[in-house]
A and B are shown apart, each in its own frame.
Chain A
Amino acid sequence: MAKARNTLLISLIIPVLFVILWWYCAQRVDNSIILPQVSEVSSLLIRPMDNLISMGSLLSNILVSLIRVLTGYIIAVLLAIPMGILMGYYSTMFTLFNNFLGLFRPIPPLAWVPLVLAWFGVASFATLSGIEQGQLYTWLSSLKLSMVFIIFIGAFFPILTSTIYGVRSVNKTLVDSALVLGADSRKIFSKILLPAAAPSIVNGMRTGLGVAWMCLVSAEMLPGSISGVGYLITHAYTIAHTEIVIAGMISIGVVGAVLDLMFRIFENRKFKWQRLAR
């Protein structure tokens, strides 16, 4: 118990020092456009439901962003995992795709923006589904194809890479022993490769979600966006509300950290065997 308390205390030292430093600098600078006071930002953060610069509340903007990130992310997961498993297990598949994908991997998601705009313009999921009014329309129309694509690109490669790696490093003896016990290739995938590679896959999913969340701001800077934390930040910047910029940054950081933490807790529970197995 005392140890847990110590750990908590130690982990708080740096954040507290940081806030003190911020507070001190803000006092010295005394210009809320360059560096707003701690109190200005924290008053925004403790009332996340308040309407900000006629853009809706901080919370609702976070929600919009989360939905965008999750949409792009889920598409990335659904494509990257099966593909990674196939590429990891069949060397022909690996040879077939690897060089090609290797060319795309180093391209930063942001570099896709001009192309993506040319392709999708301001089309959204509302355009795709043909819904033209109502509450559902409002939600779907904020889900622009261009943003989802940028987020998808960001999340896809980390997940693909760690899935391939996970499957490739599955101990061959495990596959062999399932084969001699009578497993067909479908069972090899579901009973051996998937569970054995799961820790690596989930680790990739965690990294992928982090990257997706990071791509958010650039995605929300695209034209056609009228909501989301990324857009909130950009918009607050143009009208010199630096405290909203910082509050938005902190929200992005906190939400990203919470998502990451959720993954870590899941990994610790589910994959105890991996840490303990020799």
Chain B
Amino acid sequence: MREDIIVINQVGKTFITEKGANIPALQEFSLKIKENDFICLVGPSGCGKSTLLRMMAGLEPVVLGQILYRGYEVLKPDKRIGMVFQEYSLLPWRTVLDNVGLGLELAGTPIRHCRETAIKYLELVGLEKFSGAYPYELSGGMRQRVAIARALANDPDILLMDEPFGALDAHTRILLQKELLKIWEANRKTIVFVTHSVDEAIYLADHIIVMTAGPGRIKERIDVNMPRPRDRANPVYGKLSSRILDMLEEEVVSSQEAVTPKTYHFPGRVTARS
């Protein structure tokens, strides 16, 4: 039996707008994530999925409920919990190599050893030739590869990814999805991946968590049982995709109709699992 690496217990979050109104972003959200799982969180924008990820990373305080990492409450950032951001996370004044080595450098590792390790991880993402380049010399896709290499170089126990491919063009995106899977299959780190894209979620995840519109709760947990690499032409793929898209559409519509988000009721019509 694999261990629960992350336990999210009844977590809630409310944002206060400048006018003083309370916007509930997350409500009584509970989830258990097992070791080596690849989980995707999908949901309409504003459902609090990025907030949830930031709380798991220790970047956002957990006020209601609790988040446990291997049994310990997450109170502040921990280098065993790595994170890849959507964009602009590389230090523009550092070379690619020194960006990847940053985590080790922060831990007080001698510079030479940082660089040796960094090169290894750059090879993993196929960018060893660009080790002396600066981030502004790279394309968006290459930058995200560097960001992934940087997170991995710290050898985290779990990797949180906040729409890491969201700003990339469709082709690069598909390419990076493949690469990410290859890396994941090699080291099997636990990954929690937030995305807007249903296609991306189905292509990558073991389990897809579909969230409700704000306040975010779990609408449905879908286990994707297709073998990898997944074929987008597979009818199961298409069916799953349209099913999740329907759910999301329902969410967007209901959240627009709802007077307050709280009056929303769980529809309970989703049934069969693929």
Contacts and interface: CB of A to CB of B under 8 A. Distances in A.
Q: Is the interface of A mostly helix, strand, loop or mixed?
A: helix
B193 to A, nearest CB: 15
A198 B92 CA distance: 12
Given A180-B57, A180-B77, A174 B89 contact: yes
B106 A181 contact: yes
Contacts of A271: 93
Given A176-B59, A187-B106, A276-B134, A181 B154 contact: yes
Interface stretch (B27-35, B39-47, B79-87): B79-87
Contacts of B102: 178, 181, 191
A42 B184 CA distance: 74
A181 B136 contact: no
Contacts of A182: 77-79, 103, 106-107, 154
Given A173-B89, A181-B154, A195-B91, A273 B106 contact: no
Contacts of B91: 174, 192, 195-196
B207 interface: no
B93 A196 contact: yes
Given A181-B154, A182-B77, A273-B136, A176 B85 contact: yes
Contacts of A278: 136
Contacts of B77: 179-180, 182
Nearest to B86: A173
A274 interface: yes
B93 A183 contact: no
A118 interface: no
A266 B154 CA distance: 34
A12 interface: no
Given A273-B93, A273-B134, A181 B85 contact: no
A278 B105 CA distance: 26
B96 to A, nearest CB: 12
Interface string A149-188: 0000000000000000000000101101111111100010
B49 interface: no
Interface of A: 171, 173-174, 176-183, 187, 191-192, 195-196, 198, 271, 273-274, 276-278
23 contacts: A173-B88, A173-B89, A174-B88, A176-B54, A176-B57, A176-B85, A177-B89, A180-B57, A180-B77, A180-B83, A180-B151, A181-B106, A182-B78, A182-B79, A182-B106, A187-B106, A191-B105, A192-B91, A195-B91, A195-B93, A274-B92, A277-B92, A278-B136
What 3 pairs between A and B have smallest CB-CB spacing? Answer: A182-B79, A181-B103, A277-B92
